[in-house]
A = this chain, B = another copy of it.
Amino acid sequence: MTEVESSERLVHVPLGDRAYDILIGRGLIARAGGEISTRIKGRKAAIITDEHVGPLYLDALMDSLQTDGIEAVSLSLPAGEKTKSFEHLMRVCDVLLEARIERNDAVIALGGGVIGDLTGFAAGIVRRGVRFVQIPTSLLAQVDSSVGGKTGINTRQGKNLVGVFYQPDLVLADTAVLSSLSKREFRAGYAEVVKYGLIDKPDFFEWLERNWEGVFAGGEARAEAIATSCRAKAEVVAADERELGRRALLNLGHTFGHALEAATGYDSKRLVHGEGVAIGMVLAHQFSARLNLASPDDAERVAAHLKAVGLPMAMGDIEGELPPTDILMEAIAQDKKVKGGKLTFILTHGIGQSFVADDVAASEVFSFLQEKHPG
């Protein structure tokens, strides 16, 4: 008990009247009722989860809420990206309204980024906004999707095209639940942790190089890495809540990454998001080196670290054939708007020195990719 509390971390996200706390530590689900009831007036809650996470943690959460006098209903949805749809949004709204969730009651997302994004959207639109609590259970959700207030669903036109900015009232990142996450999902989330170091925290990157085994093992190092990541994202978000400028840095590695996700047909057997980001970050460093902005040694160092933890770090690490360069290029052009042959890209002067460049020649990207392309 004492041990649990001593290892707990609090990250405050300073967003004026939308400010909130992120608590990080082991065993937080068992204490959720207490943490929620001191912050939220209503005594009703609805928990949205998925079929992988629900069986593992829903009962513990329900018990904790009940102990603190919060009456809760729950809904378990299919796991996976397809759940971020209008159809499931309607279902969640229906459940919240049937449960008579009011403005001061809590809607709780218990799951990974899929459940968080969908549930946050529903919480933002039912009665034009009810209280919202994130209990992220994947590493990616703990360090990325649960922080920053972006919510949404996918449509046939693309990912995350419909949604709202809606900040939670509380985030509870229970680091113990990550033990049931598959190794591959954990590693994919870890790529986003590395990203924060590469954006503007060279010391954190170095710390990860030395401590990554501890992060993977759990315990102190894991909580520390998650807290540092949340703090990093919170900083960027606080500076640019609605993504008009600086927040773009969070896309480091993502332009190449998204193109690779598209190129592999979003087939998670071949590539999951974090793996695409890992390869994308290496490419961003190599591309910056090619443009004489950074030393090639930095790209090497990034690649070496990702390889050490078991992440892919080059296009050649992806199983199966990749489409030719011009198809990859098309995917990049779709992700970023091309204006007069110029693209906006996150480039770097070296580890921890990323920046937004809005005048990258599409032709440069093309010849770089051609060179790197395994086929």
Contacts and interface: CB of A to CB of B under 8 A. Distances in A.
Interface of A: 86, 90, 93-94, 97-98, 121, 124-129, 150, 152, 155-158, 161-165, 242
A210 B163 CA distance: 48
Contacts of A86: 86, 90, 93
Given A86-B86, A98-B157, A162 B124 contact: no
Copies in the complex: 2
**Chain B CB within 10 Å — which of A90, A98, A162 has the most?**
A162
A255 B349 CA distance: 63
A164 B161 contact: no
Contacts of A242: 129
A157 B97 CA distance: 7
Nearest to A150: B128
Given A97-B155, A155-B97, A161 B126 contact: yes
Nearest to A157: B97
A274 to B, nearest CB: 23
Nearest to A122: B162
Nearest to A126: B162
Given A86-B86, A86-B90, A90-B86, A124 B155 contact: no
Nearest to A151: B128
Given A97-B155, A98-B157, A155-B97, A125 B90 contact: no
